[in-house]
């Protein structure tokens, strides 16, 4: 009598069930090991200027500066040519927080174009007037959008989505007077915190403002290097205090010698990986609150787990 061997054969439906279960478990384990990023920060390549876009996993958006523009409507405008197209590609329709670090043209130049294209809930400025056409256009666009207007001072805090806070570290309540460049030293400095990760957006501050910040700035993970890498900023005192793993220099072709070799040397001495928008293109940082993943447009960067 022949034995029925079918009892020893695995049921194909059972095999499929276990395969799918294993696959689902694998995806679940991967998601646990690699949580979705809570915050994405992109330092756009706007040439000799600054512009950073912050996006949270729950849909909140902030913009810090909008790059340079000429005085005339027909001139090249980073807001119109770079920032607005980028925001549209990302599917962004509204901006929750707009930060203008200071009214110099390489930061405010593209702002009016951005505000003309996107509604903004709140605009944060340092409150120092400037006679330039770009700054006047920015004020006009913010007024037309009926955005809330806030004058920034140290100690203020803004929420961006559920997981991210943005703290104002500069300017102080009493603005700097008589420094090498008062507008630069009164730049808005923002500490962006997402769980354990800290990012410092340092505007165009120089040595005088950096010295004043030493009691307020913590150890950080990423530094947006002050003033495009000028020799007057990124002092030993500041870098020894905050010790960034990554340093982003937003810079383009210029006549100022930015970034200065001595500044790059100081950043290297303190162990920071230096990324430059003029060499690496736009720099995108994502974090789940515990680690940074850094990507560059031109050359791949790295992942930086937070120690401890």
The domain locations on the chain are 38-305
Tokens of 250: 């937003």
Q: What is the per-residue pLDDT for 74?
A: 77
Q: Residue 233's closest CA among 212, 216, 255? A: 212
Kindly state the helix (H) or strand (E) to which residue 101 belongs, with its residue range: none
Q: What is the per-residue pLDDT for 122?
A: 98
Average pLDDT value for the chain: 89
232-242 average pLDDT score = 97
Q: Residue 188's closest CA among 69, 103, 248? A: 103
Q: State the pLDDT confidence band at 75, using cuts at 50, 70 and 90.
A: confident
Query: In the 8-state DSSP scheme, what is residue 39?
Result: E
What sign does the dihedral 181-183-184-187 (CA atoms) show?
positive
Q: What is the per-residue pLDDT for 36?
A: 76
15-19 average pLDDT score = 51
Q: Is the pLDDT of residue 164 over 60?
A: yes
Kindly state the helix (H) or strand (E) to which residue 253 belongs, with its residue range: none
Q: In terms of C-beta density within 10 A (0-12 exposed, 13-18 middle, 19 or more buried), how is residue 31 classed?
A: exposed
Topology given in CATH for the domain delimited by 38-305? Metallo-beta-lactamase; Chain A (3.60.15)
Q: In what order do the strands lie in the sheet with 52-56?
A: 148-151, 120-125, 95-99, 61-64, 52-56, 39-43, 283-287, 291-296, 303-305
Q: What is the per-residue pLDDT for 282?
A: 97
| pTM confidence score | 0.86
Q: State the pLDDT confidence band at 4, using cuts at 50, 70 and 90.
A: very low
């Amino acid at each position: 009598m022949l034995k029925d061997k079918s009892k020893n054969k695995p049921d194909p439906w059972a095999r499929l069930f276990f395969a799918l279960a294993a696959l689902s478990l694998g995806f679940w384990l991967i998601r646990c090991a690699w949580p979705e990023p809570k915050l994405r920060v992109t330092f756009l390549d706007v040439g000799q200027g600054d512009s950073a876009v912050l996006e949270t996993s729950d849909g909140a958006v902030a913009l810090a500066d909008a790059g340079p523009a000429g005085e005339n409507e027909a001139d090249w405008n980073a807001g119109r040519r770079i920032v607005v197209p980028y925001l549209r590609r990302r599917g962004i329709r509204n901006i929750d927080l707009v930060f203008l670090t200071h009214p110099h043209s390489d930061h405010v130049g593209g702002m009016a174009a951005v505000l003309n294209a996107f509604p903004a809930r709140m605009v944060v400025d340092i409150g120092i007037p400037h006679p330039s056409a770009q700054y006047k256009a920015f004020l006009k666009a913010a007024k037309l959008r009926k955005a809330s207007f806030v004058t920034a001072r140290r100690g203020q805090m803004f929420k961006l989505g559920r997981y991210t806070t943005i703290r104002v570290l500069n300017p102080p309540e009493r603005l700097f007077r008589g420094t090498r460049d008062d507008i630069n030293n009164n730049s808005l400095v923002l500490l962006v915190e997402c769980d354990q990760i800290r990012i410092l957006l340092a505007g165009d501050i120089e040595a005088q403002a950096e010295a004043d910040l030493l009691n307020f700035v913590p150890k950080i993970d990423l530094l947006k290097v002050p003033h495009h890498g000028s020799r007057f900023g990124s002092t030993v005192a500041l870098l020894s205090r905050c010790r960034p793993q990554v340093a982003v220099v937003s810079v383009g072709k210029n006549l100022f010698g930015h970034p200065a070799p001595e500044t790059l040397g100081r950043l290297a001495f303190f162990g920071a990986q230096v990324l430059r928008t003029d060499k690496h293109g736009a720099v995108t940082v994502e974090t789940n609150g515990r680690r940074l993943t850094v990507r560059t447009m031109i050359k791949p960067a790295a992942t930086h787990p937070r120690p401890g």
